[in-house]
Structure 1
Amino acid sequence: MITTTNDAKKDTNPYNPGVDFLRIFAMFMIVVTHVLGKGGIRSSVAGDPDPHFLITWAIQVAAYGAVNCYALISGYVSVNSNYRYSKCLTLWLQVFFYTFGFTVFFSLLQKPVTYHDWVEAIFPVITGEYWYITAYFGVLVFMPFLNLGLSKLKTKDLKQLVIFAIIFFSVLPALFNTKVDEFSFAKGFSMNWLIVLYIIGAYLRRLDLKRVFKKRTLLLLALSSMTVTFFAKFLIGDIWYWYTSPSLLAAALSVFIFFATLDIKSDSRLMAVIKFLAPATLGVYLFHLNPLMVRFVIRDGFVSFVDAPIWLFPFLILGTALLIYFLSTVVELLRMRLFKTLKIGQLAQKLDNILPFGIYTKS
């Protein structure tokens, strides 16, 4: 248990269903971006800004901040949690299930699977099979230090730290339209940027979001930020489209707070759907974005959508993403049942008995 100091408040309601609802929504948006990108649609509409081009990039910009939302969730839900090595092991086993499983599957289909593919499947985190997982493992390594340090900061000081980080790592590089290699943010595809978002999410946990923010204002800010991202990307530079972009970050923060402030009744059907789907969201990512799945199935698989009538075009994109999300969820739920039957979680927890993590106390 992490002992908080100063004015860090103890959570009275640790579970926020709105945040889990966002987990589902954000993962669907991530699938949408991959339908557009990996599916070849974005590259197919490159050129003159015709209606297909405008719709493609409007959807892309609207959905692109979902990764930032997902990282904000990590800080929001994990800042007050106990640190366990079993969490790292369980995550690794989940990733390994998909990387090794897909390699076996496509080998049986006699697809051109190489020796390098097998190495990456067996060591998925180190070889960067999924950039987010590799970056997040880096966050997991430093999570005890982050949580301890954050717990000892006054809310006022944490607020100042968050503002400074946003200005220094997001706003100034975008205003100067320059990539600062020394920050090692890699356009946001990095452990460092996930740590920044983790800290911001931890700060949001301190706030009474429902009292401070109004939903109408949040929606207006989100739409305005997305509009800025769209025009700034094409008129100023691609840095406004990176994950570190201040407008993309502002949109993600607005969407995050909007979902976090939703009133969802515990006995509602929506709550039942959230509790059913939210645990499977990471599996959706691991299934549909597996490198072999992308190479043999998804890569340039949706280029033909560009030839569809303009009224049908966005429905094909969103419908395909929904189908992929549904299929990925089914596979992940089966994986979860298999792991439960094999008692993988209980076996992983034995690691905590072998390597117990100490209790933080006030210094």
Structure 2
Amino acid sequence: MQEVWFYSILIFVVTWYFNIIPINVVNIFRAIFPFITAEYWFVSAYIMLIILIPFLNIVSTQLNYREHVILLFVLISFDSLSLIKNGTMTDYLASFMIVYFIGTFLRKYLDKLSSIKNWMLYINVVILWMVEIISMEILFKKGYGIESVRFTDKLLAFSGATSIFLIFLRARKFYSSIVNKMAKTVFAAYLLTDNPFARNFVWNNIFQTFKFQDYIWVPLYGLLCVAVIMLVTIVIDTARIKLFKMVKHHIVN
């Protein structure tokens, strides 16, 4: 988790230097201990999941097909309580557990899903995407504001992600050094852009995404933002990797 600490402290120093955030005890604590202060919710939930995996594996191996499906249905139902602002089971870890059990389900019963053809999966993804867009538009007009996106990040997201994952599982394997190089920097891109000290500045001041959210071509602008972020991240993360190697070489020798 050296990478997480590196970016957490780096962003804290940079944002403090440019007067984006104030320096105080709370912010210093959040920068030094990002795992326990939810500075990076994804990392915190992932660590919790890793700790739980030995026990979750025991559960997974004991479940048959029907029990596995029921467990997924129950977990997704609990996780979807956030739609009525009930956060009992919805603070990230539940979502990670659902993804984990979807993975174990696909690994154990992939052959049983052969009757689900790829064209069905593509149609499912398109329909879900249309439902997401329409539902967000309706909820936004009814005054839910930013909360309107919450309807799309539970059942719809899990179903769509599972369909896409199945498509890639069945796809022909390929190797690309360019894709692999970009994949290694995706986590760094998350650390750079989702840090609470820099998040608002990145999206509101640099990319100003709020100006484009009502335009039909917002997905294209989103792709442009992602491309810029990835290019900047590759440069920064390459420098970080070289720095870490120099430090490690100096310590060893």
What band does the TM-score fall into relative to the shorter chain? 0.7 to 0.9
SS of the residue corresponding to residue 291 of structure 1 reads coil
Counterpart CA distance in 1 for 2:150 and 2:18 is 42
| Residue correspondence of structure 1 range 303-314 to structure 2 within 5 A | 303=209, 305-306=211-212, 313-314=218-219
Counterpart CA distance in 1 for 2:69 and 2:170 is 22
After TM superposition, the score normalised by the length of structure 1 is 0.57
What are the superposed Cα offsets for residues 32-54 of structure 1, whole Å, 9 maximum, x if unpaired? xxxxxxxxxxxxxxxxxxxxxxx
User: Does residue 323 in structure 1 map to residue 228 in structure 2?
Assistant: yes
Cα contact 1:120–1:127 (8 A) shared by 2: yes
Give how far 1:173 is off. 8.0
| Residue correspondence of structure 1 range 262-277 to structure 2 within 5 A | 262-266=171-175, 271-277=176-182
Distance 1:240 1:307, change over 3 A: closer
Among candidates 37, 40, 43, match of residue 130 of structure 1? 40
Give how far 1:312 is off. 5.8
Give the match for residue 191 of structure 1: 93
**RMSD of aligned alpha carbons:** 3.4
User: Does residue 248 in structure 1 map to residue 150 in structure 2?
Assistant: no
Give the match for residue 223 of structure 1: 126
What are the superposed Cα offsets for residues 131-157 of structure 1, whole Å, 9 maximum, x if unpaired? 11111121122122223443x336xx1
Cα contact 1:280–1:329 (8 A) shared by 2: yes
Q: Which has a greater percent of helix?
A: 2
Give the match for residue 201 of structure 1: 103
What are the superposed Cα offsets for residues 77-128 of structure 1, whole Å, 9 maximum, x if unpaired? xxxxxxxxxxxxxx2x211101101112233334443212211000111111
Counterpart CA distance in 2 for 1:119 and 1:320 is 30
Among candidates 340, 346, 349, match of residue 245 of structure 2? 340
SS of the residue corresponding to residue 319 of structure 1 reads helix
Counterpart CA distance in 2 for 1:160 and 1:110 is 56
Among candidates 62, 69, 75, match of residue 163 of structure 1? 69
After TM superposition, the score normalised by the length of structure 2 is 0.78
What are the superposed Cα offsets for residues 275-321 of structure 1, whole Å, 9 maximum, x if unpaired? 2222222111001222222243433541574399x576543332122
User: Does residue 99 in structure 1 map to residue 8 in structure 2?
Assistant: yes
Distance 1:145 1:336, change over 3 A: farther
Distance 1:299 1:165, change over 3 A: farther
Matched residue count: 240
| Residue correspondence of structure 1 range 36-75 to structure 2 within 5 A | none
Give how far 1:181 is off. 4.4
Counterpart CA distance in 1 for 2:171 and 2:160 is 17
Give how far 1:251 is off. 0.9
Cα contact 2:75–2:94 (8 A) shared by 1: no
User: Does residue 257 in structure 1 map to residue 155 in structure 2?
Assistant: no
User: Could you tell me the percent identity over the aligned residues?
Assistant: 21
Which residue identity lines up with residue 142 of structure 1 in the other structure? L
Cα contact 1:221–1:254 (8 A) shared by 2: yes
Give how far 1:179 is off. 5.1
Cα contact 2:125–2:163 (8 A) shared by 1: yes
Distance 1:100 1:312, change over 3 A: same
Cα contact 2:128–2:156 (8 A) shared by 1: yes
Cα contact 2:30–2:37 (8 A) shared by 1: yes
Q: Which has the higher contact order (CA 8 A, sep 6+)?
A: 1
Give how far 1:220 is off. 0.8
Q: Which runs of 5+ in 2 are unaligned?
A: none
Cα contact 1:136–1:194 (8 A) shared by 2: yes
Give how far 1:323 is off. 0.7
Among candidates 49, 56, 67, match of residue 146 of structure 1? 56
Cα contact 1:226–1:248 (8 A) shared by 2: no
Counterpart CA distance in 2 for 1:248 and 1:304 is 23
Q: Which runs of 5+ in 1 are unaligned?
A: 1-90, 348-363
Counterpart CA distance in 2 for 1:304 and 1:173 is 28
Distance 1:178 1:125, change over 3 A: same
